[in-house]
Chains A and B, each alone.
Chain A
């Protein structure tokens, strides 16, 4: 087990900067998820940690040792690849034991460790088979087996679940989480799937265009996004962004949107951030059907006309216009019945964010 310390990392492909100024400290035993849209550099970052890509500037240290010039085999890391990367010409046993044999461990020891790993993943009966005789889920287990059998300091996962169907993905996700709890080894996991990121991570590192946009605990990023990008990237359905103007009177702030509507801003707004134009961000989950009684503190109540209803079972996504913006809310399925209905909605403004459209930063 070991911590990973990355300082000022830069990766250039010719003149194209794939990663720039990456500073990241990953604690021993932490489950870190690198997440971001495709092309943001998350896989490249993982590959530089594995040693499969050389870095242009900066340092990567595993434990206390700088590994910049160290070959992948000497870094004591194990990696699970998106396409499993099993060796098609070897049996499952040889696939799992390959790393141990390459390191010239005695045969009985290899056998023992392969069997332990196989048992852990429930694939003991498949050891004599070839990868082509396995299903997608089984292949993924073999790939994970190949990683754990070596008992490495760090596990690296490069979108390991993206080739699996939805049900299997859920299953394997839980298994990876359990694996982390059992082994307690440092894990770094790349995904573009925010559900995977939220469910697995101790800490999420969100990348954009080769830079770290925000790093923190999943709830931190979800509830206190630092930028417009983070706010929009995490959460499903996506956060609503409603352009408006910031107005203040008597020490109280509100956002005025098209159509003369006004939504209160319960928290303090720093004087420096008092911009005329502003974007209000509110998640669909924070808009609910208003009950009877008075409006709670920090909440706003608006009467809206439902345009579209998308039931998903227990919940229903509804869309409605607010000024010129189409806004989505996630309600209980029984709260709404058909398009065209006029309903009262409660906006929890305590959990809304204000974004400066120029800097794209959350105020």
Chain B
């Protein structure tokens, strides 16, 4: 036994080393582009495509940030994106929760309504963008925050509804029943009992909705122009016939990444719980 244990230990040791090598390569694969983006954003223009590549610039500069944010109206795009994404996220999570609660508790619309809601995601956005553009232009919603907030709320609703629906279905009814008997109205039972308990699911839903809004390009491109344009649409300006403004594009990419990372760190704990809650019956 003692003799047999040594090779086994060695084998386990080798396996461990192999695992770390694999993880190292994977990490490099994931982080290298991010590093390159970060470095490019502070590189002088001459260093973008230098051979051999410049791994860290001798004279880092923030000029690309200034140009991207101010000359190319990146700051305005950032602010617009924040307003529109946050508003759409809050609306989507809130309305989605109400719809999901109704589907889960009152079986609203029978068997098929819940699936119909999800089926709205099957539609390719390009199929409806022109009609929406025409409606928006006539309704005075084109190039407005409200217009894009409405559009984004509608597009993110199906997933919000389904995530919350999965959660509410596995949430025991008896707590709300207890609240009803205890003296709550149906609305109070929802607001004071079901909602606080669904916070993790709500956070997960909100993060998904936010990321979807934050990175959306197509509708923003068609439905906005000079005023309500969002961050993703600003990137268009950096690629022209003459060449690409790598530094400015990288600088703005770094800026646009920041909210997602901050959000991710803040809600990480809830996110994992929220995503698995629907699957695991307590």
Contact = CB atoms under 8 A, between A and B. Distances in A.
Interface string A66-98: 000001110001110111011111000000001
B197 interface: yes
A150 B180 contact: no
Nearest to B199: A89
A156 B144 CA distance: 56
A286 to B, nearest CB: 41
Given A72-B180, A82-B174, A146-B178, A89 B185 contact: no
Interface string A252-271: 00000000000000000000
B183 A79 contact: no
A182 B197 CA distance: 36
Interface in B180-198: 180-185, 188, 192-193, 196-197
Contacts of B179: 87, 98, 102
B177 A102 contact: no
B180 A71 contact: yes
Nearest to A81: B174
Interface in A94-121: 98-99, 102-103
B181 A87 contact: no
Contact of B178 (A51, A79, A103): A79
A73 B182 contact: yes
B188 A85 contact: no
B177 A81 contact: yes
A73 B197 contact: no
Contact of B182 (A82, A89, A150, A156): A150
Contacts of A150: 182-183
A230 B106 CA distance: 37
Interface residues of B, number: 17
B184 A73 contact: yes
B267 interface: no
A308 interface: no
B263 interface: no
Given A71-B185, A73-B185, A102-B188, A85 B172 contact: yes
A219 interface: no
Contacts of A86: 175, 178
Contacts of B172: 83, 85
Q: For A47, A77, A81, A156, which residue has the most chain B Cβ atoms within 10 angstroms?
A: A81
A52 interface: yes
Contacts of B193: 87
A122 to B, nearest CB: 22
A163 B180 CA distance: 23
Q: For A52, A78, A79, A85, which residue has the most chain B Cβ atoms within 10 angstroms?
A: A85
Contact of B183 (A52, A73, A83, A88): A73
A98 B188 CA distance: 12
Given A73-B182, A88-B197, A89-B197, A79 B177 contact: yes
A33 interface: no
A50 interface: yes
Contact of A102 (B175, B182, B197): B182
Contacts of A72: 177, 180-181
A240 to B, nearest CB: 39
11 contacts: A52-B177, A72-B180, A72-B181, A73-B182, A73-B185, A81-B178, A83-B174, A85-B174, A99-B182, A150-B183, A156-B181
Q: Nearest 8 A-B pairs (CB), nearest first?
A: A99-B182, A85-B174, A102-B183, A85-B178, A72-B180, A81-B174, A73-B183, A103-B183
